[in-house]
Structure 1
């Protein structure tokens, strides 16, 4: 189980680690976005240095409508376990996003009054 923290606007943040193709672990804060149905989405400039393998282009329905994203195969560490996952990459993302696909594997507990935020 990983503990998260609440942002100023009640956003849900978790620290995860991105793993470069060279095996370097990079800790980052990721915003949990229940409206995003994938595992992970990052800005194209955040992709620099990771050297993840390009898979294909893919379309997703976003709040702004249908958008095309590049899809990469990436590795992350979440809850002390390494996962190889599809990662959506776009130019307009302002945060690294964790998506609702993780909820297939981990329960999300959000209790604002008690200050509790956990995944796993």
Structure 2
């Protein structure tokens, strides 16, 4: 089971360790975004600091229906105690966890400031 908290902005957050193939790691607080069907987003500053390898560009449909290009990079994440290599989309927002990373996991949120966020394998 993984555990996070609901922050002051009423966002469900989860701490994650992300890194590159050389073993360089960084701890981030990521916001769970059930409207995002990708794995994870990271800002360019973290992508650059970890020197993540570029994989491709992809067209993504945003919540308002508009389409935009995102650059995709390869990142290693520690997820439920296991190392996983996933695609990460570059986006100048807070890091976001999408539904592809949450796939086959249950999500429980105590939706109050400071509430517990639980992510557990189904």
Give yes or no for TM over 0.5.
yes
What does 1:41-120 correspond to in 2, within 5 Å?
41-64=41-64, 65-90=66-91, 93-112=92-111, 115-120=115-120
Count of paired positions: 118
Does structure 1 residue 12 correspond to structure 2 residue 12? yes
Shift of 1:42: 1.0
Structure 1 unaligned runs (5+)? none
> CA separation in 1, counterparts of 2:53 and 2:23?
14
Q: In the TM superposition, what whole-angstrom CA distance separates every residue of 1:41-81 from its partner, at most 9, and x where no partner exists?
A: 11112211212221111011113521100011111112211
Contact map agreement 1:21 1:51 (CA 8 A) in 2: no
Question: Aligned partners of 2:7 and 2:110: how far apart in 1?
Answer: 14
C-alpha RMSD of the superposition:
1.7
* Structure 1 stretches of at least 4 aligned residues deviating more than 3 Å after TM superposition: none
44-53 vs 12-21, greater mean Cα deviation: 44-53
Tell me, in whole angstroms, the C-alpha distance in 2 between the residues paired with 1:116 and 1:69: 31
- 1:102 is displaced (CA, Å) by 2.2
Cα drift, residue 3 of structure 1: 0.7
The answer for unaligned runs of 5 or more in structure 2 is: none
Normalised by the length of structure 1, the TM-score is 0.88
**2:49 match: secondary structure:** coil
